Amino acid sequence: MRLLRRAALVLALLLSALLAWVLVQAQRHPDLPAEPAAWMPAAPAGSAGLRVRFVGVATLLFDDGETAWMSDGFFSRPGKLAMAFSRLEPDRAEIDKALRKLGVSRLAAVVPLHSHYDHAMDAPVVAERTGAQLVGSSSTLMVGRGLGLPARQMREVKDGDVVQLGRFRLTFLESRHSPTLWTAADAPSEHITEPVVPPAHASAYKEGAVWSLLVEHDGRSLLVQGSAGYLPGLLQGRRADTVLLGVGTLGRKSPQYIDAYWRETVSLPGARRVIPIHWDDFWRPLDAPLQAMPLLFDDFAATWAALRERGARDGVEVKLPPLWLPIDPFASPAGTTAH
């Protein structure tokens, strides 16, 4: 009996230590690069051309002065406890505040890169506020239906479809989500088959199709990779001058996986610049300074080192996007537009 009590005490101590470690790691964030050279410079005020604004996770505003559209449009950013234990719904006040800060009143389209809540939950409200079309997979459209977005404002796309938005040409290539503890690299996507009526649990927002989005504009090309997964050979024969590269969970992957991901999303399309996205802690509000994901879930310092190492080896510039500020994704290192 005494031996059993000791064993129980040891087990309780071990579990307490494990819980304490989890709680600490859930609050610890890797430092972001402090040197200005690690960040993309803001585009000069009043300058013409394509501009991209990063607004956390994989939300990006594209604007060429004639047409504006947005990927994801995720601004609510509920906290960890709400995500884990509560039902979620779009925070319309936060959405409106973000759109005002961006100076956005009209959009041609909102394009969720897949249908998890941190990509698609707010998109129908953004579409409603801006008159945009909600463009995405059948799962994304189920999120729109759950929020009552009219059918005329929704457009379903499938693998290989092309959508023209002014001078932007968007090609939707179905890829894979980053593998996680719960999802194998080759596991098929789960799809949303009924309208998601908020408030709803985060688990209701199943991933649906995961897009590698090729964006062509005036002879230049961008790849928007919203998740750190890949499909071998998907980008064979495609070109992207710049890659907006989703790196969430990449810091917990093996060097072999990172090599393959770099090869498939950067080397294969011949990119000369990589701008990492989906690295920030999306449980923090946008009016707080951005921080990398907590160490319990990812290690951005390891990601940053891995990307910089491969960029130096291959002659690819790797720079982080500033929050809110417009950048020229094709600017030369000196700040002028590359030709």
> Tens digits of per-residue pLDDT, 247-306?
999 999 999 999 999 999 999 999 999 999 999 999 999 999 999 999 888 999 999 999
Indicate the number of domains in the chain. 1
Would you say residue 184 has pLDDT above 80? no
> 16 pLDDT exceeds 80?
no
Look up the domain containing 126 and give its range.
Answer: 31-326
In a domain, 4, yes or no: no
166: left (phi over 0), alpha (psi -120 to 50) or beta: left
Please report whether residue 293 resides in a domain: yes
* Cβ-count burial 215-228 (b if 16+ within 10 Å, e if not): bbbeebbbbbbbbb
Residue 163 lies in a domain: yes
CATH classification at residue 205: 3.60.15.10
Residue 309 lies in a domain: yes
**Segment holding 243, helix H or strand E:** strand 242-246
Sequence-ordered list of residues with C-beta below 8 angstroms from that of 278, at least 6 positions apart, any chain: 57, 58, 226, 227, 228, 246, 247, 248
Residue 263 lies in a domain: yes
Predicted local confidence at residue 296, as pLDDT:
85
CB-based burial, 137-155: b 16+ in 10 Å, e otherwise: bebbbbbbbbbebeeebbb
Of 283, 266, 121, 126, nearest to 208 by C-alpha is 121
**Separation of alpha carbons 113 and 119, rounded Å:** 7
Measuring CA to CA, which residue among 87, 85, 88 is closest to residue 76? 88
Name which of 144, 66, 147 is nearest 108 in CA terms.
66
Whether the CB-CB separation of 318 and 126 falls below 8 Å is answered with no
Residue 9 located in a structural domain: no
Question: Quick one: tokens of 335?
Answer: 């700040």
The reply to whether 307 falls in a domain is: yes
93-147 pLDDT, tens digit per residue, is 999 999 999 999 999 999 999 999 999 999 999 999 999 999 999 999 999 999 9
- The continuous run of DSSP H or E covering 106 comes out as none
Considering just the CA atoms, what is the radius of gyration of the chain in Å? 20
Q: Is residue 203 part of a domain?
A: yes
In this predicted model, what pLDDT tens digit does every residue of 317-331 receive, in sequence order? 999 999 999 999 999
Does residue 199 have a cis bond before it (omega within 30 degrees)?
yes
